[in-house]
Structure 1
Amino acid sequence: MPFARLASATTATCHIGLGLAAIGRPGYINLGRDEDLGTDRSVDTLRTRTHELLDAAYAQGVRYFDVARSYGRSEEFLADWLNAHPEIDDIVVGSKWGYTYTADWSTTAEQHEVKDHSLATFERQRAESIELLGDRLDLYQIHSVTPDSPALTDKDLHARLAEAAAQGLTIGFSTSGPAQADAIRVALEITVDGERLFRTVQSTYNALETSAAPALAEAHDAGLTVIVKEGMANGRLAEPYAPDALKAVAAETSLGCDAVALALILREPWAGVVLSGAATTVQLASNLHAAVVDLDDDQLTRLAALVEEPQVYWERRGQLPWH
């Protein structure tokens, strides 16, 4: 499996990945985008920014890079960078299918992406991803599975995913919503010809939303690599939006709220890769300090008090505007 590269890596930050959701398209729901990106969000400007981030991430030991068909031009930007660095062969590239980007590079589009977990969408988007990334694509994930997703019951889709796996592609899934744990447990039971279909799971987990933890531990114990997304809760755990308790702990560590928030996730024994969604190289450098944060029992107790009910967390996330 490609994730063996991470298991054998010696960089201190190899278990922190870089996700390109926030910079592969001009509009997203993260807080603080006006300050992070400014007004110039042309294709060329975001392509340059992406390449700068990828350069900085690789130089600082990051070895997992995460994109998706719905992240605007993220696959294209990553492919351009990979083509410019043919000597780089020790990274893992993951993408996702199941959402189609529909905003046409606008921040004010009525609809930014459309979800469809059908076999036809898999076939179309896999071809699109392969056209851009070729054999550099290691991991292909179903994007944002929920318990009612047809991807969990579509046997024809499962068979095609298994064929792709037999051809060397690692197959995974991501989850979203207040019932992430239910979706994970259903997905763990899916087999094709007696073999477990999925080898990775990517889920939202952070200081505010911890409900998927038991199911993620089960997935880890079953042999799946766990990837954690939205560790910063779409900016709610970063300055200046972070809760006072997180700000206090960060001050005690002399590091940023972001580093503490990500360090909290890295402590989990089941967390294989924790994604940084940095939009600037300064944010990335601060995120990577998570690898050296050491939290004591009192600090962990105070941070544990930040947890919200899943329904409350996801309702608030759903109210965040695209900007």
Structure 2
Amino acid sequence: MPFARLAAATTATAHFGLGLAAVGRPAYITPGRDRDLPAGRTPDALRECAHELLDAAYAQGVRYLDVARSYGRAEEFLGEWLRARPEVQDVVIGSKWGYTYTADWRTDADVHEVKDHSLAAFERQYAETAALLGDRLDLYQIHSVTPDSPALTDPALHARLAELAAGGVTVGISTSGPGQAEAIRSALAVTVDGEPLFRTVQATYNLLETSAGPALAEAHEAGLTVIVKEALANGRLAGPAAPAALRAVAGETGFSCDAVAMAVILRLPWAGVVLSGAATAVQLVSNVHAAVVDLDDSHMARLAESVEEPGAYWKHRSELPWS
């Protein structure tokens, strides 16, 4: 399993990951992009941003790197960075298939990505990923699986994914939406020739949306590596927009809201990797300070009061504008 490399790592921040969604394409749903990204957001400008972030992450001890076919040119940027630094062999590389980027590098596109969990989509997108990342790909996940996804019930797709796994690439899923727990439990039941197919699950979990927690604990107990995404709720848990309880605890501990919010997740026994979606090196460094935030039971109880009903959380997320 590639995540054994993280388990053996000696850096305090090895179990942080860097996701390149914020800098792989010009538009995303996290606010503040005009402040965080260079004017124009050309491919060359975002390539430079991505490479600076990757350099900063590696220097900070981050060893998991996350991309996807739908993250614009993120796989391309990461592949270039890896080839320019052949000495970097101790990172774990994960990508995802199942969404196709359709915005053509426009911030005002009507549709930015299209979902397709068919076997044909897998074959097309895996070939594209392999061309960009080659043998550096450690993990390939189905992107944003929901309970109604055909990827959970397609035996031909399962057989093909099992072939990929037999060739050395770990196979997993990511989940999204208010039905994450159901999707995770359904994925745990998928087997090929009597063996579990999926070995990782990447899910949204944060101070506002905790509904997947019990299912993620079950996945961990079953031997899967759990990767936590959207730990900052697409910016809602960072800065002045953060809930009052989070801002208060941040003030008491002397750390930023984002570091405190991520520190809560680091305390969870089932959280194997916690992703940063930083757009700048400054944001990344602030995020990884979570490793040294000291939270007591009183802090944790007050922070738990921020939880939202899952349907309301995901409705709010669906209404965030691409910018």
TM score, norm. by length of structure 2? 0.99
The amino acid across from 1:245 in the alignment is: A
Looking at structure 2, the residues matched to 144 and 231 of structure 1 have their Cα atoms a distance apart, in angstroms, of 16
Looking at structure 2, the residues matched to 38 and 249 of structure 1 have their Cα atoms a distance apart, in angstroms, of 32
Looking at structure 2, the residues matched to 6 and 266 of structure 1 have their Cα atoms a distance apart, in angstroms, of 14
State the match for 2:205 in structure 1.
205
- CA offset digits 1:167-226 (Å, max 9, x no partner): 111000000000100000000000000110000000000000000000000000000000
Looking at structure 2, the residues matched to 127 and 258 of structure 1 have their Cα atoms a distance apart, in angstroms, of 36
State the match for 1:232 in structure 2.
232
1:141-160 to structure 2, matched below 5 A, reads: 141-160=141-160
CA offset at residue 40 of structure 1? 2.6
Secondary structure at the counterpart of residue 107 of structure 1: coil
State the match for 1:299 in structure 2.
299
State the match for 1:53 in structure 2.
53
State the match for 2:115 in structure 1.
115
State the match for 2:74 in structure 1.
74
Looking at structure 1, the residues matched to 80 and 157 of structure 2 have their Cα atoms a distance apart, in angstroms, of 30
Looking at structure 2, the residues matched to 285 and 293 of structure 1 have their Cα atoms a distance apart, in angstroms, of 13
Looking at structure 2, the residues matched to 8 and 195 of structure 1 have their Cα atoms a distance apart, in angstroms, of 26
Secondary structure at the counterpart of residue 131 of structure 1: helix
The amino acid across from 2:227 in the alignment is: I
Superposed CA RMSD in Å reads: 0.6
State the match for 1:242 in structure 2.
242
Secondary structure at the counterpart of residue 142 of structure 2: strand
1:2-81 to structure 2, matched below 5 A, reads: 2-81=2-81
1:167-246 to structure 2, matched below 5 A, reads: 167-246=167-246
The amino acid across from 2:112 in the alignment is: H
CA offset at residue 287 of structure 1? 0.2
Looking at structure 2, the residues matched to 293 and 281 of structure 1 have their Cα atoms a distance apart, in angstroms, of 19
State the match for 1:126 in structure 2.
126
State the match for 1:103 in structure 2.
103
Looking at structure 2, the residues matched to 95 and 281 of structure 1 have their Cα atoms a distance apart, in angstroms, of 21
How many aligned residue pairs are there?
Answer: 323
The amino acid across from 2:210 in the alignment is: T
Pairing 1:275–2:278 present: no
- CA offset digits 1:21-55 (Å, max 9, x no partner): 11100000002112111433010000001000000
Looking at structure 1, the residues matched to 47 and 240 of structure 2 have their Cα atoms a distance apart, in angstroms, of 27
Looking at structure 2, the residues matched to 279 and 22 of structure 1 have their Cα atoms a distance apart, in angstroms, of 6
Looking at structure 2, the residues matched to 22 and 57 of structure 1 have their Cα atoms a distance apart, in angstroms, of 14
The amino acid across from 2:185 in the alignment is: R
- CA offset digits 1:218-261 (Å, max 9, x no partner): 00000000000000000000002111111110111111000000
Secondary structure at the counterpart of residue 207 of structure 1: coil
The amino acid across from 2:45 in the alignment is: T
Pairing 1:90–2:90 present: yes
- CA offset digits 1:267-295 (Å, max 9, x no partner): 10000000000000000000000000111
Which runs of 5 or more residues in structure 1 are unaligned?
none
- CA offset digits 1:110-168 (Å, max 9, x no partner): 00000000000000000000000000000000000000000000000000000000011
Checking the alignment, whether the CA contact within 8 Å between 2:38 and 2:45 is kept in structure 1 is no
Secondary structure at the counterpart of residue 108 of structure 2: coil
Secondary structure at the counterpart of residue 160 of structure 2: helix
Checking the alignment, whether the CA contact within 8 Å between 2:19 and 2:277 is kept in structure 1 is yes
Secondary structure at the counterpart of residue 172 of structure 1: strand
Looking at structure 2, the residues matched to 248 and 254 of structure 1 have their Cα atoms a distance apart, in angstroms, of 10
Which runs of 5 or more residues in structure 2 are unaligned?
none
Looking at structure 1, the residues matched to 213 and 262 of structure 2 have their Cα atoms a distance apart, in angstroms, of 15
Looking at structure 1, the residues matched to 43 and 206 of structure 2 have their Cα atoms a distance apart, in angstroms, of 31
Secondary structure at the counterpart of residue 44 of structure 2: helix
Looking at structure 2, the residues matched to 87 and 223 of structure 1 have their Cα atoms a distance apart, in angstroms, of 31
User: Which segments of structure 1 move beyond 4 Å, counting only runs of 4 or more?
Assistant: none
Secondary structure at the counterpart of residue 240 of structure 2: coil
Secondary structure at the counterpart of residue 157 of structure 1: helix
